[in-house]
């Protein structure tokens, strides 16, 4: 199993319930959608080589075996008490076989595998979920994408992970243009996973085509609605941006 990689590096998690936790990041290349706020546009196109922190570049595509070898060889991973790797993108679910194969190799060695995904492809997630310990799934609100809407796919992916016993964060990036009706519709769609998943309300970091910060009144409106709907949730910005780490 192979996948084109952008980079492999060690940093701290900047989003969701594991914010601040040191871990490795394995970033795959390519993504089938276009979010207006995308901060990883460099991942859209696979390049000939992947960057590996502290090592020579790797030729793409990289095999799961080699990715696992690179992960386990990172000095910080060797020293970590509970090493974790976040497989991110781009959109990593384009390569479910690669995710599964990396998990099969590193989990027996003590790694916990996090999957950060746009959650568009339930079949792909079903294929690899047995090798995932934590899912960070997006629910892309209408108006945050250049085109399309994937509400049902997001919910189905979350349900698959929860049935497999995986912890699930559902990330909703909030922008100034988020309409009240669209946010309310999202909460209604997500109600079927409300008891088990944690919602992450993430005020947008201006990037890409987004130049405006989230107005406090829009954030407050979203907080009020989420509380009223009975969700367990956190309001968290992208902490790695503030820390100025990758």
Give the helix/strand (H/E) hosting 225.
helix 216-228
- When binding is defined by CB under 6 A, the residue of 7, 15, 58, 91 that contacts ligand SF4 is 91
Stretch that binds ligand SF4, among 2-10, 32-40, 174-182, 234-242 (CB under 6 A): 32-40
What separation in angstroms does the CA of 62 have from each of 49, 56, 109, 174?
A: 9, 13, 20, 34
Q: Cα(94)–Cα(87) distance, rounded to whole angstroms?
A: 12
CB 131 within 8 A of CB 100: yes
- Say whether residue 210 binds ligand SF4 (CB under 6 A): no
Residue 103 beta carbon to ligand SF4: minimum distance, rounded to whole angstroms = 21
Quick check: bond before 61 cis, omega within 30?
yes
- Say whether residue 178 binds ligand SF4 (CB under 6 A): no
- Say whether residue 34 binds ligand SF4 (CB under 6 A): yes
- Say whether residue 136 binds ligand SF4 (CB under 6 A): no
Nearer to ligand SF4, 74 or 178 (CB): 178
Chain CA centroid to CA 2, Å: 20
Cβ partners under 8 Å of residue 216, min gap 6: none
Chain CA centroid to CA 72, Å: 21
CB 33 within 8 A of CB 208: no
| Footprint on residues 102-121 left by ligand SF4 (CB under 6 A) | 118
Give the helix/strand (H/E) hosting 74.
none
Q: How many helices (H) and strands (E) does the chain have?
A: 8, 12
Nearer to ligand SF4, 109 or 123 (CB): 123
Residue 203 beta carbon to ligand SF4: minimum distance, rounded to whole angstroms = 15
Nearer to ligand SF4, 42 or 234 (CB): 42
Nearer to ligand SF4, 41 or 55 (CB): 41
Chain CA centroid to CA 73, Å: 24
- When binding is defined by CB under 6 A, the residue of 83, 90, 122, 203 that contacts ligand SF4 is 90
- When binding is defined by CB under 6 A, the residue of 3, 38, 99, 172 that contacts ligand SF4 is 38
- When binding is defined by CB under 6 A, the residue of 13, 28, 43, 153 that contacts ligand SF4 is 43
Residue 81 beta carbon to ligand SF4: minimum distance, rounded to whole angstroms = 30
Which residue do the tokens 């995308």 mark? 38
208: left (phi over 0), alpha (psi -120 to 50) or beta: left
Q: Cα(172)–Cα(139) distance, rounded to whole angstroms?
A: 5
- Say whether residue 201 binds ligand SF4 (CB under 6 A): no
- Say whether residue 14 binds ligand SF4 (CB under 6 A): no
- Count the residues of the shown chain that bind ligand SF4, applying the rule CB under 6 A: 11
Binding-site ranges for ligand SF4 (CB under 6 A): 31, 33-35, 38, 40, 43, 89-91, 118
């Amino acid at each position: 199993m192979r996948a084109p990689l952008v980079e492999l590096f060690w940093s701290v998690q900047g989003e969701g319930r594991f914010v601040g936790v040191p871990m490795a990041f394995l970033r795959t290349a390519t993504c089938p959608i276009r979010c207006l706020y995308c901060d990883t546009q460099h991942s859209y196109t696979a390049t000939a080589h992947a960057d590996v922190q502290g090592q020579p570049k790797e030729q793409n595509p990289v095999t799961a075996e080699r990715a696992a070898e690179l992960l386990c060889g990172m000095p910080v991973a060797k020293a970590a008490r509970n090493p974790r790797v976040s497989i991110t993108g781009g959109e990593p679910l384009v390569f479910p076989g690669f995710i599964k194969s990396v998990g099969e190799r590193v989990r027996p060695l003590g790694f916990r595998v996090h999957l950060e995904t746009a959650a568009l492809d339930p079949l792909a997630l079903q294929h690899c979920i047995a090798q995932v310990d934590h899912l960070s799934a997006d629910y892309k609100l209408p108006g945050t994408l250049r085109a399309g809407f994937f509400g049902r796919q997001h919910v189905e992916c979350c349900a698959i992970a929860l049935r497999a016993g995986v912890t699930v964060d559902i990330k909703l990036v909030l922008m100034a243009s988020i309409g009240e009706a669209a946010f309310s519709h999202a909460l209604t769609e997500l109600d079927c996973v409300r008891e088990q998943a944690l919602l992450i309300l993430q005020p947008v970091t201006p990037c890409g085509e987004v130049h405006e910060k989230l107005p406090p009144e829009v954030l407050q409106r979203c907080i009020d609605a989420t509380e009223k709907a009975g969700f367990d949730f956190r309001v968290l910005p992208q902490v790695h941006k503030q820390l100025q780490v990758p």
